[in-house]
Structure 1
Amino acid sequence: MKYDVSLILACYNEHEIFNDSVKRIINTLDKTDYTWELIFVDDKSLDNTVELIKKAIKQYPRDNLSAIFHTKNQGRGQTVIDGFKQSQGKIIGYIDIDLEVGEWYLPKFISAIEAGSGVVTAWRIYDFNLRTLIRWFGSKGYFWLQKKLLRLPLHDTEAGYKFFNKTKIMPVLKKCRHKDWFFDTEILARAVEAKLIIQEIPVAFVRDHNKTSTVKLIPDTIQYLKNLIKFAYGQSR
């Protein structure tokens, strides 16, 4: 492998937060002793995210920043899968570029994989206020349903902050069928089936109320629940 770590950044209409987030991520990784690469995967953004990605690659003149540009929108899962396939790191991971779970957790997640875990995933702890209450209730409701249907020994399957031992996860990735947001849950369910060691790390979730969400709350939630039920009853396996 060429790098110690490959980090995938799935991008869709990220112009509001892109530059600041990329700077923070690079600064954090530069402070570690790891060799690393960033792979941007743009899922047919409708704003100027593509231009920002190209500018970032020129701004940091190294060979460890690269990009994939989808010609049509394919979904969160497919963006991560494409990034993983292009990655050259022994440890691979993806995080939400809005950094609502902070970049300062990166070294902790990476070192946990080095210590022997096959998968390390975030367990989000919410800062309670009226604006995060709906998300908290939604997360708890999904957690309850997931426990009933899949019985996964995990507290948070949907977090967009996951790292993997590449050698162990790539055979698992081949079994993943979902290309949308349900990918976050499916890859953990497949990892449990494969008996990989999975570690959850509690993290603070801090909602950025100034950014425009790319999640379509009601239709995405309905689709998520449909996928969960289909997966649980073997219709999408």
Structure 2
Amino acid sequence: MKNKNILIAVPCFNEEKRLPLQDFVDYICNNEQVFCFINDGSTDRTIDVLTQLKTKFPDKVIVVDSKINLGKSNALQYGYQSVKNHDFTHFAYLDADLATPIEEIIRMSDYLDNQVEFVFGSRVNRIGSNIKRKLYRHLIGRFFATINSLLLRIPVYDTQCGAKIISKELSEEVFVRKFDTNWVFDVEIFFRILQFKKGSDINIYAKEIPLEVWTDIGVSSIKPKHYFGIFTDLFKIYRIYR
């Protein structure tokens, strides 16, 4: 596929001291990639850090500032709506902590072509890869992934990996309105794509790519008390889209 122009979105909430700024600077210095950093109502100086980055790279950095905290899902939706008139062919997103390195998104983009419109990472720990994940989070993740696969009725291994690339045409459908969930919005993305592509073989337009590198960074924001809400959200979106 020629002339792929991928815009990478990075939602940020209170990342003043946590953002791996030098990693972004080093990459932006040596590549033509354009990034969209979305300040999701941060209460620290995140917006100042992002503004400084934009000042340093005015042609490669876009900053979208939400004055209120929307949550990751709707921060991405707000970010997409803010940049959709820019020149790009694909919309991607990464976690601000770079658990998935930027290079992995670029490697994943090699699988895009005129038919493949949706590429997403999969955290499969295998020989030759460097996937660092706490055991309990892996086990919980496999449990939820199995439920997600059953609800979606597709053989997906990892819906929740925070590294996805979606064609602009498909992004228009995915981010057209606010999400109904936050913790499991990745599953909602799959439901929206399946709804739009109803009748099409997902094996033709989507690919799940095992990551080469992924690192479990920091402490999970999901606590035991959130699990009931996660299950509630899963069945909520199942009812909406099925």
TM-score when normalising by structure 2: 0.81
**Structure 1 residue 105 and structure 2 residue 111: aligned?**
no
**Aligned residue number for residue 235 of structure 2:** 229
Amino acid at match of 1:8: A
1:1-237 equivalent positions in 2, closer than 5 A = 4-14=5-15, 15-27=17-29, 30=31, 36-60=33-57, 62-85=58-81, 86-87=83-84, 88=86, 89-114=88-113, 116-126=115-125, 132-174=134-176, 177-178=179-180, 180-193=182-195, 194=197, 195=200, 197-203=205-211, 204-208=213-217, 211=218, 213=219, 215-232=221-238, 234-235=239-240
1:65 CA displacement: 1.2
The two structures, once aligned, show a CA RMSD in angstroms of 2.6
Please say which of residues 109-118 and 89-98 is displaced more in the overlay: 109-118
How far residue 55 of structure 1 moved from its aligned partner, in angstroms, is 1.1
Partners of 2:27 and 2:191 in 1: how far apart? 28
Shift of 1:109: 2.0
* Cα distance, 1:116–1:72 mapped onto 2, change above 3 Å: same
8 Å contact from structure 1 (residues 24, 103) kept in 2 = no
* Count of residue correspondences: 225
Report how far residue 207 of structure 1 moved.
1.7
Cα separation, 2, equivalents of 1:94 and 1:66: 14
State the 1:50 CA deviation.
Answer: 1.3
Unpaired stretches in structure 2, ≥5 consecutive residues: none
Q: Distance in 1 between matches of 2:116 and 2:91?
A: 12
Instruction: Please say if residues 3 and 36 of structure 1, whose CA atoms lie closer than 8 Å, have aligned partners that are also in contact.
Output: no
CA contact (8 A) 2:120 2:165 kept: yes
Point out where structure 1 has 5 or more consecutive residues left out of the alignment.
none
Instruction: Give the TM-score normalised by the residue count of structure 1.
Output: 0.83
Q: Is the 8 A contact 1:175 1:190 kept in 2?
A: no
User: Are 2:119 and 2:206, in contact at CA under 8 Å, matched by a contact in 1?
Assistant: yes
Structure-2 separation of matches of 1:20 and 1:115: 34
Identity fraction in percent: 20
Q: Is the partner of 2:190 in helix, strand or coil?
A: helix
Mean Cα deviation higher: 154-163 or 65-74: 65-74
* CA shift for structure 1 position 123: 0.5
What's the offset of the Cα at 1:219? 4.2
